[in-house]
Amino acid sequence: MMEIELPKTQQSQQDMELIDILWRQDIDLGAEREVFDYSHRQKEHELRRQRELEEEERQQRLREQEKALLAQLQLDEETGEFVPRPLPTAQPGPVAAQTAVFAEDGGDTLSFDECMQLLEETFPLVETIEQCLSMNMDEMLETSAYPTSNISPSVQESDYPFYTPKLTDVVASPAEAGPPPAYQDTFEGSFAAIAPPENLSQMTLKASDVNAAFNVDSFCDMFYPDLTNANAKKPSALAADGNESGPLAEVQDEPANPMEIPEFALSEGFEDKKAEVMAEFPDSDSGLSLDASPSGCSPQKSAFGDGSFGYSDSDMEEMDSNPGSMQSEYAEMFPSSFGADGFQGDSSIAAQPSPSQEPNVKHTKTESVDGVGHSKPPFAKDKQKRRAESRLSRDEQRAKALQIPFTVDLIINLPVDDFNEMMSKHQLNEAQLALVRDIRRRGKNKVAAQNCRKRKMESIAGLESELDSLREEKERLQREKAENDSSLRRAKQQLSSLYQEVFGMLRDEEGRPYSPSEYSLQQSSDGNVFLVPRIKKTSAKSSSK
DNA sequence: ATAGGGTGTCATGTA
DNA sequence: ATTACATGACACCCT
């Protein structure tokens, strides 16, 4: 996909919307959101640098802890190095497998759980790392015969001999159980954010390097290539790299293999899966393929780049699939990375996650949880589950993600004047402004829709009750009509009998009764009754009684 | 697997 | 022109 560079550094809302529309259109062609986002990429650099500075501090701490851990490592009595273990091919099994993954190069070795422990002590985000790993493992496990119970919680409990074999198992069938394509995307993206692709390919896994680029995604990256390496049955040449960095580097040296990620991404049978996954990425209520956008897919995109730009309304849809858990997860995952983004929002939310990170993390989680890379990823199920769990307040999640310094309620319910005043008091960037506007629009529209539906229901109910009353009235009128009909019938009968009685009493001059066939009684308008001959109507002879 | 209800959102029209 | 509101249509989720 070609990149479209927008010359303007500051895009207007319309531009953003246009971009949004264009991107939506291009999504069918596989275009990604940031492709259109010039400022997004621009800011990536700044944030990356900032992050690296932050990481240096941890780096320092980590080095100290490495030293401490080194003392605990098993030392090879002959070489003075930390013990390299036998290659897995010789002794298949849990222990051998473990060795295969982490100690192939025979260099300084840090066992997996030691690494985990070290990392845990160093980074509060180990939980995330575990998730990352366990998700991997889950995927692997599904392709292997190993039990699949609760791996992630045990990662740091050093029962990895139980679960590392899965790695090697996977190795046995790389085509089936390689790292999920989506992972690949995510990691590529985040990795690229930390170090340019060329750096990635030449990374030499010194602890300092590692730490400089340390974050959840990169951590995941570190472990995935392990698998990749193992897949290729290509022992790392790190030992020859003159790796003096110590144990931690051991864990990472395999990922450092320049070819791993690209190779993996292109490995046979994998590309197809990747395509599948990408096709599934679109994940939003609106059906827009927003998951495919920022940072997740393109190696050239920064995971932490733009804190806001290009991240307006529709972008935020990405988070919709995982809104509920998002914030808390972020808080856990990036306890220290956040808040350093220099956001101008309230300091009260300074610890909020950087928005650009979210899609990445979400991708990571979604992809892994959904079992990307399997022939039948349980994507939809998990997605729905997550959505159900996180249905609560999506706009709130979005607002937090962009560090909007107002509550959603305020944004929605404030009168126009107050709202404008409030907005003028805070300096918000375009994405934030766009989001606030969208939140307000959506919020009001949501209420309007609720009212509309309420009115509709009330209208339906009113019409139904009206229908009922009309039915009742109809029945009443029918009953009334029936009564009237019967009374009319009675009156007619009475009139008829009275007529006959009166007619029968009439006599002519000779005392004979009148024949009913020849005469009839008729009543005039003044009430007088006349005997009218039927045959000679014109020469009617009136007689009064 | 499917239907139906509930809900959020968007597009559009109206005041 | 802008804003708020109303409503049809659609997609998604859940039961």
Nearest-CA residue to the C1' of B10?
Answer: A286
Give the C-alpha separation, A403 to A333, whole Å.
Answer: 17
* Of residues A51 and A357, more confidently modeled: A51
In angstroms, the CA of A408 and the C1' of C7 are apart by 24
In angstroms, the CA of A445 and the C1' of C8 are apart by 14
Nucleotides of B under 7 A from a protein CB: 7-11
A453 touches strand B (CB under 7 A): yes
* For residues A84-89, average pLDDT: 37
A442 touches strand B (CB under 7 A): yes
Q: What six digits make up the tokens of A406?
A: 């107002």
Nearest-CA residue to the C1' of C12?
Answer: A285
In angstroms, the CA of A16 and the C1' of C1 are apart by 21
Query: Which percentage of chain A shows pLDDT scores above 70?
Result: 26
CA dist list (Å): A407 to A40, A77, A352, A387, A419:
26, 63, 14, 22, 12
> Looking at the DSSP assignment, which residues form a beta bridge with residue A500?
none
Nucleotides of C under 7 A from a protein CB: 3-9, 11-14
Quick: pLDDT tens for A399-433: 877 788 888 888 888 888 888 888 888 888 888 88
Give the C-alpha separation, A20 to A313, whole Å.
Answer: 9
Quick: pLDDT tens for A134-158: 333 333 333 333 333 333 333 333 3
Mean pLDDT of chain A: 50
Neighbouring C-alpha atoms within 13 Å toward the C-beta of A284: 19
> Looking at the DSSP assignment, which residues form a beta bridge with residue A520?
A532
Any long-range contacts for A326-330 (C-beta under 8 Å, 24+ apart)? A326/A353, A326/A358, A326/A361, A326/A362, A326/A390, A326/A397, A326/A401, A327/A352, A327/A353, A327/A397, A327/A400, A327/A401, A329/A128, A329/A361, A329/A365, A330/A357, A330/A358, A330/A361
- 277-296 on A, CB < 7 Å from strand B: 285-286
Q: Quick one: pLDDT at residue A427?
A: 83
Q: A47-58: b or e for each residue (b if 16 or more CB lie within 10 Å)?
A: bbeebbebbeee
Instruction: Quickly state the pLDDT bin for A364 (edges 50, 70, 90).
Output: very low
In angstroms, the CA of A404 and the C1' of C1 are apart by 28
Quick: pLDDT tens for A261-288: 333 333 333 333 333 333 333 333 333 3
A445 touches strand C (CB under 7 A): yes
- The interaxial angle of helices A313-320 and A357-369, nearest 10 deg, is 30
Quick: pLDDT tens for A9-47: 334 444 444 444 344 433 333 333 333 343 444 444 455
Q: Are A211 and A59 in contact (CB under 8 A)?
A: yes
Q: Quick one: pLDDT at residue A368?
A: 32
- 387-406 on A, CB < 7 Å from strand B: 394-395
Q: Which nucleotide is nearest to A387 (CA to C1')?
A: C13
Nearest-CA residue to the C1' of C5?
Answer: A448
For the residues of A166-202, what is the DSSP string, one character each? HHHHHHHSHHHHSSPHHHHHHHHHHHHHHS-HHHHHH
Q: Which nucleotide is nearest to A385 (CA to C1')?
A: C13
**Count of C-beta atoms within a 10 Å radius of residue A277:** 24
Residue type (1 letter), A95: V
Q: Quick one: pLDDT at residue A478?
A: 97
In angstroms, the CA of A384 and the C1' of C14 are apart by 10
Full 3-state SS string of A467-482:
HHHHHHHHHHHHHHHH
Structural element, H or E, at residue A520: strand A519-523
* For residues A239-245, average pLDDT: 35
Quick: pLDDT tens for A303-318: 333 333 334 443 433 3
A451 touches strand C (CB under 7 A): yes
- For residue A371, give every residue at least 6 positions away whose Cβ sits within 8 Å of its Cβ, in sequence order, or none: A138, A139, A142, A180, A377, A378, A379
Left (φ > 0), alpha (ψ -120 to 50) or beta: where does A533 sit?
beta
In angstroms, the CA of A320 and the C1' of B7 are apart by 14
Chain centre to alpha carbon of residue A476? 57
Give the C-alpha separation, A319 to A57, whole Å.
Answer: 31
A455 touches strand C (CB under 7 A): yes
A25 touches strand B (CB under 7 A): no
